[in-house]
């Protein structure tokens, strides 16, 4: 039985997240991607806090953003996040952001690696993560 690969989370745009025009400030989209990926991992039974307590960090190594339409103050956004790629060295999350009318506003692809907290050096994807996510369809190992 395959594990669900796409997860939806909602966030409401706060005033502090907008610019003078009332649109979400472009830099805040990275925060939305973070919400999507941390909550996706949590849904799959892998918590960032637990990883860090066990000496594993997950720094972002690349971020691709595509701005299609602006999100506005007080919009209820749906963050649709999936794990796009999982390799022995990296994990890639794909997040699409939709407004309440189901219009696609933004697309983000975030690539992360795994780092030993003590040495600061890259490590392979932890075996328990590979095992936990092995059932997800369309991932590369």
Tell me, what DSSP letter sits at residue 136? S
Q: How many residues does the chain have?
A: 141
Secondary structure of 5-40 in HEC code, one letter for each residue? CEEEEEEECCHHHECCCCEECHHHHHHHHHHHHHHH
Give the pLDDT of the chain (141 residues) as one tens digit per residue: 345 689 999 999 999 999 999 999 999 999 999 999 999 999 988 999 999 999 999 999 999 999 999 999 999 999 999 999 999 999 999 999 999 999 999 999 999 999 999 999 999 999 989 888 876 655 544
pLDDT of residue 1: 36
The answer to whether the beta carbons of residues 140 and 86 sit under 8 Å apart is yes
3-state secondary structure 50-84: HHHHCCEECCEEEEEEEECCCCECCCEEEEEEEEE
As a whole number of angstroms, the distance between CA 117 and CA 95 comes to 26
pTM metric for this prediction: 0.90
What's the pLDDT at 131? 85
Q: Rounded distance, CA 60 to CA 131, Å?
A: 22
**Cα(14)–Cα(126) distance, integer angstroms:** 36
- Asked whether 75 and 91 are in contact (CB, 8 A), the reply is no
Considering the domain 6-133 in this protein, what is its CATH number?
3.10.129.10
């Amino acid at each position: 039985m395959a594990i669900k690969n796409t997860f939806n989370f909602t966030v409401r745009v706060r005033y502090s997240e907008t610019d003078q025009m009332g649109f979400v400030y472009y830099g805040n989209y990275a925060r939305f991607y973070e919400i999507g990926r941390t909550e996706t991992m949590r849904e799959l039974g892998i918590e960032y806090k637990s990883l860090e307590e066990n000496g594993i960090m997950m720094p972002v190594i690349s971020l691709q953003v595509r701005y299609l339409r602006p999100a506005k103050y007080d919009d209820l956004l749906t963050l649709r996040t999936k794990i796009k790629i999982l390799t022995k060295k990296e994990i890639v999350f794909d997040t699409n952001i939709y407004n309440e009318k189901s219009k696609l506003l933004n697309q983000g692809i975030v690539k992360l690696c795994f780092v030993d907290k003590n040495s600061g050096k890259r490590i392979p994807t932890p075996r328990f993560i590979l095992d936990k996510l092995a059932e997800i369809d369309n991932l590369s190992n």
